[in-house]
Amino acid sequence: MSTIGVLPSLVADYREMLVEAGELDDEPSCSLAEALNKQDLFINSVLANMGSSFLWQMLRTGIIENRGFFLNLGGLRTQPIGM
């Protein structure tokens, strides 16, 4: 495994997905009921826990092998995003 000086930007790499998601989700979720219709109930806590573990690995070891992950709660699967 080799190290890199700058972590590549996920926003730049996945810009099309972000733009498409923004176009599909143009209405604000002002209530809990509306928010639950758009996303799973526990998605935020799952992402917070996984993100915290990811950050802790980076701080503890000084290196990470992946720069993020995709999470599919429907299938309970995660897919790492490589460097």
Q: What is the pLDDT of residues 46-55, one digit of tens each?
A: 888 888 988 8
Q: Where are the beta strands (DSSP E) in the chain?
A: 66-72, 77-82
Q: What is the pLDDT of residues 20-34, one digit of tens each?
A: 776 656 565 566 666
Select the highest-mean-pLDDT range: 3-12, 23-32, 55-64, 71-80. Answer: 55-64
The strand pair at 77-82 and 66-72 is best described as antiparallel
Q: How far apart are the first and last CA of the chain?
A: 11
pTM, two decimals, is 0.53
